[in-house]
Structure 1
Amino acid sequence: MRCTTRLGCLIVVFIATVSADRAGAQQPAAFVPITRGVERELSGARARATTAFVGQYFRLPGNRGFDASIDTVARLLATAGFVEEARARPADRFTFRIESRPMRTPAWEPLAASVTLEGSTAPLQELRTNGNMLAINSWPTPPGGVSAEVVDAGDGSDAALDRIDVRGKIVFARSSPSRLYTSAVTRRGAAGVLVAQELPAYLRPEVNRTAIQFGSISLDTVARGWAIFLSRASQQTLRDALVRGRVRARVTVGARFDVRPERTLVAEIRGRTAPDQRMVYSAHVQEPGANDNATGVGLLAEMARVAARLVRAGTANPQRTMTFLWGDEIRSTRRFLAEDTARRDKVFWGMSLDMVGEATALTGGTFLIEKMPDPSAVWVRGDDQHTDWGGRPIPITQVRGHWLNDFVRQRCLVRAARTGWVVRANPFEGGSDHTPFLDAGIPAVLLWHFTDQYYHTDLDRIDKVSATTLANVGNCALTAGLLMVEGTPAVAEGVLRELQGAGERELATQLRMSRDTISVHGADRAHEQVVLEAWGDFYVEAIARIPDMVVGPSGISLTVRRAQDAMKRRTDFVVKALP
């Protein structure tokens, strides 16, 4: 870029200066003891071992796999020195409890399933190798299974079903499982349905031909039928057989319904001086995958162990409480906030761990920090793009300035500078345990991976989980959390210095994109000014929130005001730099 005026030269210098590498190994001195302590103690291998145990189960609230996962983490906590809350003494700082609540519907668990075409010696599909083939809420068949004719109902519409007699037969169709089951089994008396599952393109169904995503049908206590998902490979085999003539199949289903409670595990490291104020981690237990989300369960257990060890050693001394939640996705987190409004009002920050251990060379996923809403969720451009999971722009009125996005990203980038770990971010999309925090007005981020070609499929197994990735994510997440609850002015001052640098870099990046958008694409200057000013306002407000980190008087009010003034001047500068 060539400059021909004094202002133009200043712009070049500004962009070149603050657009240097977004992070490095440098960090404030106050952060170093905790960063090194976590790095020394946290074991990705240990987290992966817990992941392997949890990942062997098809986990739904109340079923035996879900409860075994909860119980295993509880035992790990006890081994790490956490005391069951009912037996804890007033002086015990590390406690846990298991909350139980009645469920409205029975807990469901798959036990066995197979589909065998008559005349074939091997099953077309079986649960042993396709763990997601049985739709949730399917009922077991009689001993020995059901043998019936298979009829192709096309798209499974009412018109297609009306053209054939399906009573007592097995219906094969492309349709949503619940709609097909209701139309074919409940209304027309079919024995059960085979669902031709169509996977989204990002799951690479042309390559992963045996993959099946888990799904469900509505609970039916009258017809008590079943639905089975067929992989692309199984669909082709069945269609080839139907072309040759009439097909009969034998279907066996083993499933278990139990009246059991839904359980949530809550562990806490009590804050020294402000125990009613807290930071909350959340990892959901349900879903059958290894990465989704046995990794979150296993890593959060390891983080709790390490946090307790560092607090005992005096490396960390949280002034606020650190809370760890394991339970049903979104529901457990939302309930933790909703059931006690006084508790909710003292939750300062949240962090969700979901799909945090990917062997990215196998899955194709990238580690991501899903940010709480910032201007990148309003104007999506540059590096921070929406994922294949899906997101849409939000109104600027939903954006509130906060330091959490940049603080967590910087903790990850410090780790990345040493290990070569790839760290990226995406604008807010929702859909995991960070959402209830944000709905309650609590700053929160999600740590995850996407796009994962095995997402929600039965190919998401332990071989796709990396101990190295778990160590990377765990170091970032726990270091951030321990620093956040430390509650000291020194930590807050360090966050302020980092945030000033992050704000300057972001303004430089946005200025570069705005100049290109105007010069190359003829965009409206007034619109680009709105974008730049929104980013400036975001960081001015974020700086104002930094004293929240300190328990007691912060002593940094003047420094904060000066930083805000500097950010306002920087914003004015970049706006004037627009062509």
Structure 2
Amino acid sequence: MKRILFFALILTSLSAFAQTQTANYFNLTRNGFNEKNAYETTAFVEKYFRIPGNTGFNASIHHVEEILKKAGYVEQKTNEFESPMTYRIEKRPMNRNTWEPVNASVTIVGESLPLIAYQTNRNMIPINCPSTAVGGITAEVIFVGKGAAADLEGKDLKGKIVFADAAAGRLISIATKAGAIGVMGYSVPKYNQPEKHQTSISFGSMPANAAIWSLFLSYGVKEKLKAACLKGKVELKVNIETKIYQAEELTIVANVKGSVKPDERFVYSAHVQEPGANDNATGVGALAEMARVTATLIKSGKLKPQRTLTFLWGDEIVSTRRYITEDTTRAKGILWGMSLDMVGEDTEKTGGTFLLEKMPDPSAIWTRGTDKHSEWGAGDVKEKDLFPHYYNDFIFDICKAQGKFANWVVNYNPFEGGSDHTPFLQNKIPGLLMWHFTDVFYHTDNDRIGAVSSQTMKNVGICALTAAYTLVTADENTASATVAQVKNDALVRLKTEFELSKKAIADGKSVTDEKHIIEVWGKYYTDALATIGTMAVAPKTTRIGSTIKVAVLAVEKQTQVYLSELK
């Protein structure tokens, strides 16, 4: 009977959508989202190595602009609500020069083919790397092992190229002081499986205005060059061409005006910078298509948002944080934030399953059972950092419903941080991340368009749009259905945690500690239920408050039952 009840709770949670407009929005977005459009935008953006101010970053911004204009967004002249759908490009002077790679190659003197070249390894040139002299330079390369003090002792580095089986960045200062003309190094994380994917290079940077150049190597190239150096003297021909220049930083923001409470809004964010396809050309492409779908539904009268929808593309974390903090009045109306980052993985090629990164809940403190952090790593979350809110379960249940519909694997991870959801959370605004991990090509130059799935982008876009449409038009029925959904999710989670604590006690763990975990989960969910009180745009009765009280009592009662059974 308990097992039957447990699965009944899960089914009730998923079927809650049938009681709201969410089912209709699923139909609209499934029919409206064109994955070909999202893929084509992704392919355009991924051609470039993108950092703020450079050619590729700006081309991506203007490509999105063209999509918005064709969809019917009007360029903002005075304010963002002067038309039902507006967009603007914000331009800001940069306090540092921008940079972009042009070309590079390294050839062992005496060999006809390059050891490594920019055409196949765009990440070989670190951000801020200067050019060599026109035509390149030729110099002896000195292998210094791991670059430890003992490895450098007695080495004549003047006029030489320093090569280490270690990160290049840590040797730049030492090499410069020793009179070296350049540094080459290797550093690829284990989750990228470099010994299997031997051409991968992780992108990175070097100090601006450094006196020497540096290059990054793949595992395969590093091993080949190391073997050559161990046999005897090796000379290299190195040619690097980059551009460093003053530029403006661009951010593009589009708005769909809410008809009832336009100052309350749902904000999407997708960062443009970084050189990869999945990271984050897919976020740019998916969000551009989401903005187009929204415009189409607005013009057809099928979508009538009562709160505002905002779409933002810019510099990761920087643009989102600025959007929130530079206008305190606007910030007060941001009710939800969502980051689209690495949303187009072909998981058969990359290995990374779709994840919803939750806002800080107790699983970020006590990660156990089927919960697990990604290889990105856990953050230092304390009880004071918990963010009880219905948003976690609301969005994940929508993702699960699309997963069931499309036979698409969805999962979640406890809060970790590191993308555009963090500025929302830092400013006490509910914010979530849609992403994939672990991706074996993450941050490497093998993150190319061939590892992107247009169907995955569609699934993510459907979830992100359906969730926002539901929230910006939420009424009492939506709120009441969400109360039922979150209550059921709470009861499922409490049962899971109870079983884990019961086993932990049997294995010798402290009863007091295990009871505390149950208490924190119970309190988390009663507080989360309370936040549903402000979901409806214009509630007409006190029904939502009464529904919340009943649900809170049910969660509190079940919490006490489990606490009494833990002995």
- Fold equivalence (TM over 0.5): yes
Please list the CA deviations of residues 73-118 of structure 1 after superposition, one character each: whole Å capped at 9, or x if unmatched. Answer: 0110111111110278965111110111111111100000000000
Match of 1:403 in 2: 390
Q: 1:567 aligns with which of 545, 552, 555?
A: 555
CA separation of 1:497 and 1:228: change in aligned 2, threshold 3 A = same
Q: Contact (CA 8 Å) 2:340, 2:434: kept in 1 or not? A: yes
Deviation at 1:549, TM superposition (A): 1.5
Report the counterpart of residue 523 of structure 2 in structure 1: 537
- Is 1:55 matched up with 2:46? yes
What's the counterpart of residue 196 of structure 2?
207
Give the aligned partner of residue 564 of structure 2. Answer: 576
Q: Distance in 1 between matches of 2:540 and 2:554?
A: 20
Question: Which amino acid counterpart does residue 523 of structure 1 have in structure 2?
Answer: K
Deviation at 1:482, TM superposition (A): 1.2
Select 1:324's aligned residue among 311, 316, 324: 311
Q: Which moved more, 1:79-88 or 1:435-444?
A: 79-88
In 1, the alpha carbon distance for the partners of 2:412 and 2:540 equals 30
Question: Is 1:150 paired with 2:150?
Answer: no
TM-score normalised to the size of structure 2? 0.96
Matched residues in 1 for 2:258 and 2:109: separation? Answer: 65
Contact 2:16–2:485 under 8 Å retained in 1 = no
Q: What is the distance in 2 between the residues matched to 1:89 and 1:438?
A: 24
**Structure 2 residue aligned with 1:371:** 358
How has the CA–CA distance of structure 1 residues 52 and 16 changed in structure 2, closer, same or farther, with 3 Å as cutoff? closer
User: Distance in 1 between the 2:381 and 2:482 partners?
Assistant: 27
Q: Give the match for residue 22 of structure 2.
A: 31
Q: How does 1:228-267 map to 2 (within 5 A)?
A: 228-267=215-254
Q: How does 1:28-177 map to 2 (within 5 A)?
A: 28-86=19-77, 92-158=83-149, 160-177=151-168
**Partner amino acid, structure 2, of 1:216:** S
Q: Which of 154, 171, 182 does residue 192 from structure 1 map onto? A: 182
Distance in 2, Cα, partners of 1:325 & 1:38? 20
C-alpha distance in 1 between matches for 2:65 and 2:540: 37
Instruction: List per-residue Cα deviations over 1:405-426 (Å, max 9, x = no partner).
Output: 1110111111111111111010
Please list the CA deviations of residues 156-188 of structure 1 after superposition, one character each: whole Å capped at 9, or x if unmatched.
Answer: 345544521212111101343333122213x22
Alignment RMSD, CA only? 1.9
CA deviations over 1:370-420 (Å, ceiling 9, x no partner): 000011111111222101011145211111310011110111111111111
Partners of 1:103 and 1:261 within 8 A in 2: yes
Unpaired runs of 5+ in structure 2? none
Instruction: Tell me the SS of whatever aligns to 1:132.
Output: helix
Cα distance in 1 for partners of 2:304, 2:58 equals 32
- Which residue of structure 2 lines up, in the alignment, with residue 281 of structure 1? 268
Q: What CA distance in whole angstroms lies between the structure 1 residues aligned with 2:426 and 2:352?
A: 27
Is the CA contact (8 Å cut-off) linking 2:81 and 2:257 kept in structure 1? Answer: no
Render the CA deviation track for 1:326-372: whole Å, top value 9, x for unaligned.
11111111111111111112211110010000000000001000000
Q: Secondary structure at the match of 1:250?
A: strand
Taking the aligned partners of 2:561 and 2:39, their CA distance within structure 1 comes to: 49
Letter in 2 for 1:387: S
CA contact (8 A) 2:354 2:435 kept: yes
Superposed, 1:389-400 pairs within 5 Å as: 389-400=376-387
Structure 1 residues 373 and 90, CA, compared in 2 at 3 Å: closer, same or farther?
closer
Give me the whole-angstrom Cα distance separating, in 2, the residues matched to 1:529 and 1:17.
26
Cα 1:335/1:303, change in 2 over 3 Å? same
The question of 1:340 aligning with 2:322 is answered: no
Q: Between the two proteins, what is the percent identity of the paired residues? A: 44
CA positional deviation for 1:22: 6.9
Q: 1:419 aligns with which of 406, 409, 420?
A: 406
Please name the residue that 2:278 is paired with: 291
- Alpha-carbon spacing, 1:356–1:12, altered in 2? closer, same or farther (3 Å): closer
User: C-alpha separation between the residues in 1 aligned to 2:82 and 2:25?
Assistant: 24
Q: Are the aligned partners of 2:10 and 2:489 in contact in 1 as well (CA < 8 Å)?
A: no
Aligned length: 565
Q: Is the 8 A contact 1:117 1:248 kept in 2?
A: yes
- What's the CA shift for 1:35? 1.4
Q: Which amino acid aligns with 1:203?
A: N
Whether the aligned pair in 1 keeps the contact of 2:271 and 2:315 (CA below 8 Å) is yes
> 523-532 vs 374-383, which deviates more?
523-532
For 2:328, the aligned partner's letter is T
3-state SS of the aligned residue for 2:220?
A: helix
CA distance in 2, matches of 1:234, 1:276: 55
Partners of 1:462 and 1:25 lie apart in 2 by 37
> Structure 1 residues 247 and 486, CA, compared in 2 at 3 Å: closer, same or farther?
same
1:536 counterpart letter in structure 2: G
Cα contact 1:99–1:265 (8 A) shared by 2: yes
